[in-house]
Amino acid sequence: MDRLPLILASSSQRRIDILSSLGWKYECISPDIDETPWEGEIADQLVVRLSIGKAQVVADSNPGCIIIAADSVVEVDGRVYGKPNSPSEAEAMLKEIRGTDHRIHSGITVINSATGNIRSHCVTTKVHARNYTDVEIRQSIDRGTPFDKAGGYAIQDSCLNPVKILEGCYSGSLGLPVCKLIEIMVDMGQDIQNTNFVQDSACKPFCVYARGNK
């Protein structure tokens, strides 16, 4: 079983790190699409649509490749949060999310541009946010952490330490659900035999959050 050349349709450092950890050789191409939500569009539909759009843009100019794309948003009581555009927006966003039970939706799309075959899925992770302080919010903003993150925070941010409990896919909460990606790759007939992937170590680190952060 062979694998076509891989392209990650993203400039996200978290997605780059996750895909690199699998040991796959790939190229990064950052697509430019309109990420504005449609009127009445719900979060899981939004991330799938945007991941398809990103993958399709790259696939159109790169025949004979496997294109991987993803998109993530945070949803709190039906309100969708993307990436903040300014320090004031990041501060307001983080204050609204603080102490809430919310969801991270990550849409993933894989396109075989040789055949036109496409697979898409949304992975949802439940998050119980910690009651971090205003000082911690400001420290995170001063470090520039929020500005390329949906909801303005990173799960692994040791400065803000935003998560009390996480339920579900850890890699999905980082923006690229590994188990679903591998499932799709196998379904599309792509070789993953040399993948550096152990499910317990790659997908179970969220167990540390089950003990709770103070």
For residue 138, what is the domain's CATH number? 3.90.950.10
Which residues are within 8 A (CB) of 116 and not within 5 positions of it... i.e. 6 or more apart? none
Per annotation, catalytic residue among 2, 34, 44, 71: 71
pLDDT at position 156: 85
Residue 33 within any structural domain of the chain: yes
Which comes out higher in pLDDT, residue 1 or 41?
A: 41
Residue 214 within any structural domain of the chain: no
Active site residue 71: yes
User: How many structural domains does the chain have?
Assistant: 1
Residue 193 within any structural domain of the chain: yes
State the average pLDDT over residues 108-132.
96
**For residue 77, pLDDT beyond 70:** yes
pLDDT at position 208: 37
Residues 153 and 120: their CA atoms lie apart, in Å, by: 25
Which comes out higher in pLDDT, residue 109 or 159?
A: 109
Domain containing 152 equals: 6-205
Residues 61 and 105: their CA atoms lie apart, in Å, by: 28
Q: pLDDT tens across 84-101, in order?
A: 999 999 999 999 999 999
